[in-house]
């Protein structure tokens, strides 16, 4: 049975009390995952109610080697983009931005690729897995805004754009989701090429089969090590890219606090664990720090 709204609100306030007690007066690093963005309508494939990631995430090797794999990826990305980039930051993002502005916490280190922390006003965000808002050329390294690439995709594929607006099957698709486009909508899809060299574009995110860039990992470790506490929000820490920071904070004797719906791999390291929606917990925490 799902807990009632009142029960969740009570849990959020009690959780914020416990967090404030553990964190007040300490320098705090912040690590966030998909769970902070679910209240903005972006799905969390590891959250409660799901047992796995997106059904068929494309691996980097397939993306780099397969023209049809890239076409499938970009067709889905083109259809899902308008809704993905229309997502707005929620109370949790706003609370973290406010805490950063007031000097209570450091800038977020995030596993998310939605740029919602920045939209809420957070600065110096470390994006462990990159961002869907930027595109990189695999051949010459040129960077381009995803919005500009979207305009070219739409120009190259007017029939798919029409389907995106009017075909119910296309409306289910999200760029990071597990809904595949029907083959009839995928036929003859034309990808966008690099404007500088004509090469292969890829969203500037870390795909399965790729590693987080070493300098990004080093920056994130430095932030975690410099702080007296680590606040983890909305991540079950199932992937190593986030888990390692919790392990390091624990090794260094730092306070680890976790806000997440459902259990996670870092729970054993946490001195405070709050199982409630991030938006309500962080809003209450911002009132207490």
**Residues lying near Zn ion in the complex (CB under 5 A):** 137, 139-140, 142, 194, 196-197, 199
Q: Which of 235, 274, 232 is nearest to 249 (CA)?
A: 232
Asked whether 136 and 213 are in contact (CB, 8 A), the reply is no
Asked whether 277 and 264 are in contact (CB, 8 A), the reply is no
Residue with smaller CB distance to Zn ion, 71 or 195: 195
How near is the Cβ of 193 to Zn ion at its closest, in Å?
Answer: 8
Residue with smaller CB distance to Zn ion, 25 or 198: 198
User: Which one of the listed residues 129, 133, 162, 250 is annotated catalytic?
Assistant: 129
Decide if 129 is catalytic: yes
Query: How far apart are the C-alpha atoms of 236 and 186, rounded to whole Å?
Result: 34
Residue with smaller CB distance to Zn ion, 93 or 202: 202
How near is the Cβ of 188 to Zn ion at its closest, in Å?
Answer: 24
- The 3-class SS string of 179-194 reads CCCCHHHHCCCCCCEC
Asked whether 227 and 254 are in contact (CB, 8 A), the reply is yes
How near is the Cβ of 138 to Zn ion at its closest, in Å?
Answer: 8
Torsion-angle region of 245 (φ positive above 0: left; ψ -120 to 50: alpha; else: beta): alpha
How near is the Cβ of 199 to Zn ion at its closest, in Å?
Answer: 4
CA distances for 194 relative to 43, 60, 65, 77, 217, angstroms: 30, 18, 17, 17, 28
Residue with smaller CB distance to Zn ion, 7 or 197: 197
Exposure letters 9-33 (e unless 16+ CB within 10 A, then b):
eebbbebbebbbebbeebebbbbbb
Q: Which of 81, 79, 83, 105 is nearest to 92 (CA)?
A: 105
How near is the Cβ of 68 to Zn ion at its closest, in Å?
Answer: 21
Asked whether 30 and 109 are in contact (CB, 8 A), the reply is yes
Residue with smaller CB distance to Zn ion, 194 or 237: 194
Active-site residue numbers? 129
């Amino acid at each position: 049975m799902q807990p009632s709204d009142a029960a969740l609100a009570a849990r959020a306030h009690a959780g914020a009390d416990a967090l404030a007690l553990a964190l007040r007066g300490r320098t705090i690093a912040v690590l966030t995952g998909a769970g902070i963005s679910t209240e903005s309508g972006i799905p969390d494939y590891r959250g409660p109610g799901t047992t796995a990631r997106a059904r068929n995430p494309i691996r980097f090797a397939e993306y780099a080697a397969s023209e049809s794999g890239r076409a499938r990826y970009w067709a889905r990305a083109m259809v899902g983009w308008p809704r993905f980039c229309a997502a707005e930051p929620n109370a949790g993002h706003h609370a973290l931005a406010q805490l950063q502005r007031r000097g209570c916490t450091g800038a977020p280190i995030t596993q998310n690729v939605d740029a919602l922390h920045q939209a809420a006003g957070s600065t110096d965000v470390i994006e462990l897995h990159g961002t869907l808002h930027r595109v990189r050329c695999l051949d010459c390294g040129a960077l381009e805004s995803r919005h500009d690439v979207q305009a070219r995709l739409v120009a190259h594929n007017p029939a798919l754009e029409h389907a995106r607006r009017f075909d119910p099957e296309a409306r289910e698709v999200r760029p990071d989701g597990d809904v595949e486009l029907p083959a009839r909508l995928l036929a003859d899809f034309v990808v966008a090429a690099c404007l500088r060299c004509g090469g292969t574009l890829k969203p500037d995110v870390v795909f399965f089969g790729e590693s987080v860039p070493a300098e990004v990992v080093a920056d994130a470790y430095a932030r975690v090590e410099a702080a007296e506490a680590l606040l983890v929000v909305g991540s079950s820490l199932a992937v190593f890219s986030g888990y390692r920071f919790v392990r390091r904070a624990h090794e260094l004797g730092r306070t680890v606090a976790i806000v997440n719906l459902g259990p996670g791999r870092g729970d054993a390291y946490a001195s405070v664990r709050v199982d409630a929606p991030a938006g309500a917990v962080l809003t209450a925490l911002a009132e207490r720090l």
